[in-house]
Amino acid sequence: EIVLTQSPVTLSLSPGERATLSCRASQSVSSYLAWYQQKPGQAPRLLIYGASNRATGIPARFSGSGSGTDFTLTISSLEPEDFAVYYCQQRTNSQALTFGGGTKVEIK
C-alpha cells in the first residue's frame, strides 16, 4: 500500500500570507494525486486533481504541483474561508485509494 505523508501537520498563518503544503508518497504515483479541503462539519471538497488541475469553481489562488513522489499545494494569499484541513489522495493501478493524514491550516 502506498503511504502518503503530509507536512506540516499544522500550519499557522495570517490572512494574506502564502501557504505551502507538502504531500510525499512512499512510491511513485505519477500524477494521480488529488487535494481536498475540509471545513468543520462539512464534507471534503475537491480542489486539485491530476496533481495540478483545478476542479470546477476553485479559485485561482489554489495551485498544485509535483509528480512522482513529491507534491505541493499552494494557496497564494490566504482568505479567511481557506482556514481548514487539507488532504491529499492517490490512486494507482491496484484500485486501492489512500489519503494523507491531513494538514490543518489555522489562523495565527
Interface contacts to other proteins, rule CB under 8 A: 1, 32, 34, 36, 38, 42-46, 49-50, 55-56, 87, 89, 91, 95-102
Q: In 3-state terms, what secondary structure has residue 81?
A: helix
DSSP character at residue 82: G
Cβ at position 14, least distance to other proteins in Å: 26
Cβ at position 46, least distance to other proteins in Å: 5
Q: State how far the Cα of 64 lies from the Cα of 33, in Å rounded to an integer.
A: 9
CB atoms within 10 A of CB 46: 15
Between 1 and 60, CB nearer to other proteins: 1
